[in-house]
Structure 1
Amino acid sequence: MGAGAIRDVEAWRPRVPGITEVLHAHFTEHAYPVHTHTTWDLMLLDDGAVDFALDRRRHDATDASRVVLLPPGVPHDGRTVHPRGFRKRVLYLSTDVLPDRLAGKAVAGPILGDVALRRRVHRLHAALRDEDDAFEAQSRLAFVRERLLVHLDAHRVRPPGREGDRLAARLRELLDARVSDGLTLDEATALLHAHPTHLIRSFSRTYGLPPHTYLTGLRIDRARRLLLAGRRPVDVATAVGFYDQAHLNRHFKRHLGVTPLTFTRHART
């Protein structure tokens, strides 16, 4: 690997069960030696091209609309193809997300031409940028997992039936009761005895928005009332369930176009 081969690398461990690491990287000259992982590697190629071997069979990833899935325990390498290198975003998924018994299907076809899957993975990466929105990231991971299991012939998607409205109403009651404390997707599915994606689909179909968006809206409404009552933004943030004032500011401005402080300054008393 030559000087300046690594242009940019960012890696972190999110607070989302099942994702052991997130890696964003730009390589201009690089060749990975043959190696294995204990995780599944789910890669988006954002620019450039990569040549890699998986279980001694070579593949070319040159299309940014595709997704690469490398299974655990299977030897693979990777290298740049042309001078501009490549940009990639990778999620390392534990075998709690995808069991290693499905590795054979991934070895047979590691490059997935699935626009919907790519969109889901992209949105998951965006959610992982904000460590304070774990409920959204958990929800998006559930849909990525579902799509991958379909590709690995291990799952069939079942659209919500009549029971979906009742399930959605029960989840709404939970969210209404836990605005400040919040709710993880695992807690919701355990309490309601429902499959994660089925639960989210049922709620979205019934109420027109996903549960994490509904919860954020409840928190913004409660924050507005407290701000108008004279509470300071820094106190309001934690009172309504946001991680801190910066977390409140981001969502408040996205909803209302102004920060909480500007909102209170222009409020009528």
Structure 2
Amino acid sequence: MSFPDGERQDWVRYWRDPARPVEAMHAHYVRHAFHKHSHDAYSFGVTEEGAQGFRCRGGAHTSAAGLVMTFNPDDPHDGHAAAAVGYRYRMVHVAPDVVREVLTDAHGPAAPMPLFPHPVHHDAVLQRALLRLHAALAAGEDALTRDERLTAVVLAMIRRRATRSPGLPAAPGHGAATARRARALLREGYADGFSGEELAAAVGSSRFALYRAFRREFGLSPSEYRRQLRLREGRRLLAAGVAPAEVAGAVGFADQSHFHRWFVRCYGVTPGVYARGA
């Protein structure tokens, strides 16, 4: 993405581990603003220049140069430049199954999955571990090097920052069961075009009560959550080599331009750039 002469440019590069669901991004943004979205992975980032502002878990946060960001799977968040120069940062996305493998290998099958209560940290050790993993992915290092650096990141995050509580209410709120039934239906039929009335009827609720409970439980409306499911499946298909035009229809978007627009809004990278990551 480029802008008129005299302005800083937005740019992004993307890489994927060829053997498992681990991804890396290096980007600089001035104008781009992320729409509220979430990932089905743990997302770890290092801000290199400038500052990024975002909302996550009900609070406003800023990640300036040298700070580390940690997002749990399904943490809704947005993002925008919080400095005139924009911000440059590196992100690494690690699937929960990969984290589970590392934990099982290190601590046995009973080890609890980590949750991070705070999304921004000042920690030089974590920063170095993340940058080393990012460099291995970007440079196409061999599998042994990637394994070692991934293990170092996961164990460093757990030992230094993670707790079992994400800082959310321990007890489910009123309507939680209804919201979870609706989430299960959305996961089963994310490409379907059923209406809010149909979804509410399927879970035995009014539309208003369902929307309120769903947003309270998951931080997104049902339609926003369905769009996230569609985008996540779109990422998987793109990584598997499916053409963007085919992906759009397969995951339920009206057309390729609609898919392209939401992909950029939520992930800061075009479907084509993402598909070419290797």
Match of 1:73 in 2: 74
Q: Equivalences for 1:229-248 in 2 at 5 Å?
A: none
Q: Give deviations 1:204-234, integer Å, cap 9, x for gaps.
A: xxxxxxxxxxxxxxxxxxxxxxxxxxxxxxx
Would the aligned equivalents of 2:15 and 2:137 in 1 still touch at CA under 8 Å?
no
What stretches of structure 1 move > 4 A for 4+ residues in a row?
A: none
Q: Give deviations 1:54-98, integer Å, cap 9, x for gaps.
A: 122111111x22210111112111111122100011111100234
Q: 1:132 to 1:65 in 2, by over 3 A?
A: closer
Match of 1:96 in 2: 97
Q: Give deviations 1:17-75, integer Å, cap 9, x for gaps.
A: 341x211111111211111111111111010001111122111111x222101111121
1:2 positional shift: 9.0
**Alignment equivalent of 1:11, drawn from 8, 14, 24:** 14
**Alignment equivalent of 1:146, drawn from 150, 155, 167:** 155
CA distance in 2, matches of 1:127, 1:51: 28
SS in 1 for 2:17: coil
1:6 positional shift: 5.0
Alignment of 1:123 with 2:124, yes or no, is no
Percent identity over the alignment is 29
SS in 2 for 1:49: strand
TM-score, length-scaled by structure 1 = 0.51
What amino acid does structure 2 have at the position aligned with 1:114?
D
CA distance in 1, matches of 2:36, 2:157: 25
Would the aligned equivalents of 2:43 and 2:72 in 1 still touch at CA under 8 Å?
yes
What amino acid does structure 1 have at the position aligned with 2:72?
P
Would the aligned equivalents of 1:15 and 1:131 in 2 still touch at CA under 8 Å?
no
**Unpaired runs of at least 5, structure 2:** 101-111, 165-278
Q: Equivalences for 1:29-44 in 2 at 5 Å?
A: 29-44=31-46
1:153 positional shift: 3.6
SS in 2 for 1:152: coil
Would the aligned equivalents of 1:49 and 1:61 in 2 still touch at CA under 8 Å?
yes
CA distance in 2, matches of 1:60, 1:80: 10
Higher relative contact order (CA 8 A, sep 6+): 2
Q: Give deviations 1:121-156, integer Å, cap 9, x for gaps.
A: 1111122223242211110110100011112147xx
TM-score, length-scaled by structure 2 = 0.49
Would the aligned equivalents of 1:16 and 1:138 in 2 still touch at CA under 8 Å?
no
CA distance in 2, matches of 1:2, 1:8: 7
**Unpaired runs of at least 5, structure 1:** 155-269
What amino acid does structure 1 have at the position aligned with 2:53?
D
Question: What is the aligned length?
Answer: 149
Q: 1:16 to 1:119 in 2, by over 3 A?
A: farther
- Say which one has the larger Rg: 1
CA distance in 2, matches of 1:79, 1:152: 25
